[in-house]
Amino acid sequence: MAPMKLYGMALSPNVVRVAAALNEKGLDFEIVPVDLRTGAHKQPEFLALNPFGQIPALQDGDEVLYGNCSTDTAPSSALESRAINRYIATKYKSQGPDLVPTPSAKLEVWLEVESHHFYPAVSPLVFELLVKPMLGGAPDAAVVDKHADALGKVLDVYEAHLAQNKYLAGESFTLADLNHMPYLLYLSKTPKAELVAARPHVRAWWEDIATRPAFQKTVAAIPFPPSA
C-alpha cells in the first residue's frame, strides 16, 4: 500500500495535529510541502487536488480530505484537521490505540472544549509569541495579555477536571488529548508556558502525553528554527 500523503507546511499546527494522529496509528505517510508564503496552495497543481486551496490535505488512496484554512488563522470549516483526525481514528480504529472509544460522552465534550475554548485562547498567543518573532515582528502586548488571561481561565477548568481524570475523556488517551498537542507544544516554547507549569494536574497531563513515542516521532519532523 502506498504511503498516505499529507500536504502542508511541516511547521503548521494543523499539519502537526494530523501527523500526530497518523503516527499514533502507525500509518505510513509522507509530508508533501505546500509553502503558503510562496502561494503554492493557489497553484494549479495543488488546486487540482484541493480546489479550495487549503491545508492540510490528506490523500489516502482515492480519498482526499481537505484542510481548514489557507492561513492557519481563519475560522474552521466543516472538514479540517480535526475532522481529518476523526476520519483517521475511525477508519483505522483497530490499528494502534483506539482514539475514539464509543460511546463516550466525555470524549465528545472535550473535543468540543478544545475547538471552542482552548484553541481560541491559545492560538493568538502562539501567533504573537512564536510566529511573529519568526517573521521578524514583535508581539502585541495587549493581545498577549488578553489571551493569556483567557487561556488561564480555560486551564483552570482543565486543572479541576484532570484532578479527577488521568486523561480528558477518562483513563485512556483519546483524540481529545491528541488534538491539544500541537498548540501545547508550541505554547511550551514561549514565556507563557508558565500557564501550564503553574497547574500541577495540567502539567502532569501534558508531560505524559508529550512523551508518547508517536508524538516524539512527530516532533522530530518539525523544522523548528534554532531559536524556537
27: amino acid identity, one letter: L
- Over range 13-39, report the average pLDDT: 93
Q: Show the DSSP H helices in 92-180 as ranges.
A: 105-113, 119-126, 132-134, 141-162, 175-178
Q: Residue 123: pLDDT above 50?
A: yes
Of the two residues 134 and 199, the one the predictor is more confident about is 199
Q: Where in the chain is the domain with CATH 1.20.1050.10?
A: 105-217
Cα 70 from Cα 14, distance rounded (Å): 11
Q: Where in the chain is the domain with CATH 3.40.30.10?
A: 4-92
Cα 174 from Cα 167, distance rounded (Å): 8
Whole-number mean pLDDT of the chain?
Answer: 90
Choice among 34-38, 136-140, 200-204, 214-218 with the minimum mean pLDDT: 34-38
Query: 145: which residues sit within 8 A by CB, 6+ positions away?
Result: none
Q: Residue 69: pLDDT above 50?
A: no
- Over range 130-154, report the average pLDDT: 96
The share of the chain scoring above pLDDT 90, in percent, equals: 72
Q: Which helix (H) or strand (E) holds 90?
A: helix 81-91
* Range 105-217 classified under CATH 1.10.8.50: no
- Over range 201-225, report the average pLDDT: 94
Cβ of 60: how many Cβ atoms within 10 Å?
A: 21
- Phi first, then psi, for residue 94 (nearest 5°) are -85, -5
Contact 56, 84 (CB under 8 A): yes
pLDDT band at 228 (very low <50, low <70, confident <90, very high): low
Predicted pLDDT at 71: 40
Cα 111 from Cα 195, distance rounded (Å): 21
Predicted pLDDT at 226: 64
3: amino acid identity, one letter: P
Contact 80, 32 (CB under 8 A): no
Choice among 43-47, 51-55, 217-221 with the minimum mean pLDDT: 51-55
The residue to which cell 497518523 is assigned: 22
Contact 114, 169 (CB under 8 A): no
The share of the chain scoring above pLDDT 70, in percent, equals: 93
pTM for the structure as a whole? 0.91
Contact 7, 55 (CB under 8 A): yes
- Over range 8-23, report the average pLDDT: 94
Cα 112 from Cα 39, distance rounded (Å): 31
- Phi first, then psi, for residue 101 (nearest 5°) are -60, 145
Predicted pLDDT at 41: 86
* Range 4-92 classified under CATH 3.40.30.10: yes
Predicted pLDDT at 227: 57
Cα 68 from Cα 63, distance rounded (Å): 17
Predicted pLDDT at 67: 54
What pLDDT digit, counting tens, does each position of 94-111 carry?
999 999 998 889 999 999
